[in-house]
Amino acid sequence: MRSLPLRIRTGSPLRFPPPKPTLSGSLSRASPSGPWFFCNSGSNSGAHCLHSASDSSPSRVSPITISAINDLFPAKARLKNRAAASNKPRVHDNHDKRMSEDSVMKPTLPKLPFYFETGVGLFAKRTPRPFPPPFLSPPSGSFSDALSTHDRSRDRRELVDGQLIKGCTNGDDAVYVSDYFVAANDGVGAWSMRPRGHAGLWSRLVVHFWASAVNESIASGNVATPDPVENLQRAYEQTLEATRAPNDWQGTTTAAGALLWYRPVETVTTTGRGHADSSASDEEKEPVLYVTNLGDSQVMVVRPAEGRIIFKTKEQWHWFDCPRQLGTNSPDTPRENAVVDVVPINVGDIVLAMSDGLIDNLWADEIVDKVCQSVAAWQDKDKTPADLQRGMMTAVAEELVEAARVVAVDPFAESPYMEHAIDEGLASEGGKLDDISVVAAVCRRSQ
């Protein structure tokens, strides 16, 4: 993602040139000398960010385990993960106390007939920028600070309105996973060229407020038909409010998310007309997906049992390499431009929420083949306790990211991005180096 549909005060369009892709920062395999890793500042502070060590050689991000995902995202852990976590030692400190206070404010979600089993794969083209105050308070550098405030000055968790920011940042992308909702937002990286531009902050805040609105609507218990566009509109407005003066942080982001819902199984009467019984039991209900998209991130539904795509969203563009986007000076809004599709799915179908870093480097048939291969390999292998802890969806997401990364860093590879650029009359060769974010979620029936 390179261009911003900005407008200056005279009303004339302004387009930024694409920044040269760089490999600044550290991306390396897990090793004592320089791994990528998720860090919790302090003992268990809950900071949701990617950090890197000193090694500067580009490589894949180290695997993200299911336990790490449960720590990073506000999803309910499955029962087996709860049992595993209960055996781990935990350090109780002031950060834990504040975390428990924050959790009191979270809505309690009801048990729905279906849920997502999820996994995440991430690759960042450069080190994510830290969030600015007031969203992230840097540690104090002054010896004159009172000792009683020392613990607060070292609190490096991302916060907005006193709450932990949901999701995870990956470069300029942001992802979110839970039992019923997954999302992948792609911040427009060209904002890094502006003094107060921060695309990563915008993508993360939008996914945070969007997930919060979805969770609140589910927790209310009186939603017959979800309205993810209104939830996204609310998130967009809250992000505008959070980033305006005196904070004044600019940015834009695409948005793609999928909400897992259900409906009664339709039956056929003697008149031949289908009807739905609202009193049907969970066994008589079928899963349905509410997919929302604005921009060029993508949600795709794959049915491994048949080796085919059930559904995928269509990219929205202003022009080539300038997608529809939410944020500063953009004319796009969720109410006017977001597209919602209601997709019936089956138990066992895999939902992928992906930033354009993946779909610009892998064709759709390659994505399907890789998913089916990963699922088959997982089902055939003798699983170790580490494999069970990692989970099938984490394996699917990580293998997709690795396949896209190989193309992205190859200057001679053939890629969908290269093909689209040539169609537009632009010289292009090789993959597209970009942040690559994938959320993989398989639909399961609740017990």
Dump pLDDT digits (tens) for 378-425.
Answer: 999 999 999 999 999 999 999 999 999 999 999 999 999 999 999 999
Cβ pair 131, 172 in contact under 8 A: no
Please state, rounded to an integer, the average pLDDT across all residues of the chain.
77
Residue 402 CA to residue 408 CA, distance in Å, equals 10
Beta bridge partners of 193: none
Amino acid at 242: A
Q: What is the pLDDT of residue 220?
A: 84
Q: pLDDT tens digits for 81-103? A: 443 443 433 333 333 333 333 33
Yes or no: say if 227 and 268 are a contact pair by the CB < 8 Å rule.
Answer: no
Other beta carbons within 10 Å of 257: 28
Q: What is the DSSP string of 39-97?
A: E-STTT----EEEE-S-----PPPP--HHHHHHHS-PPPPHHHHHHHHTS-----HHHH
Going along the chain from its start, the domains and CATH numbers come out as: 111-135+159-445 (3.60.40.10)
With a CB cutoff of 8 Å and minimum separation 6, the contacts of 343 are 288, 289, 290, 291, 301, 310, 311
The CA distances from residue 87 to 80, 81, 82, 92, in Å, are 11, 10, 9, 15
Q: How many CA atoms lie within 13 A of 256 on its CB side?
A: 28
| 202-219 pLDDT per residue, tens | 999 999 999 999 999 998
Lookup result for tokens 């942040």:
435
Is pLDDT larger for residue 78 or for residue 305? 305
E strand intervals along 124-209 = 159-160, 163-164, 168-170, 173-177, 181-186
pLDDT tens, 16-65? 444 444 333 333 333 333 333 333 333 333 333 333 333 333 333 334 44
**Region for 228 from its dihedrals, namely left if φ exceeds 0, alpha if ψ lies in -120 to 50, beta otherwise:** alpha
Mean pLDDT of 319-348: 95
pLDDT in tens, 114-161: 999 999 999 999 888 888 888 875 554 555 544 444 444 445 667 777
Cα separation, 398 vs 437, whole angstroms: 9
Give residue for tokens 């839970």: 178
The separation between the first and the last C-alpha atoms of the chain, rounded to the nearest angstrom, is 41
Contacts of residues 77-86 at CB distance under 8 Å and 24 or more positions apart, as own/partner, are: 78/117, 80/388, 81/389, 84/389
Q: Which two tokens stand for residue 163?
A: 């709450």
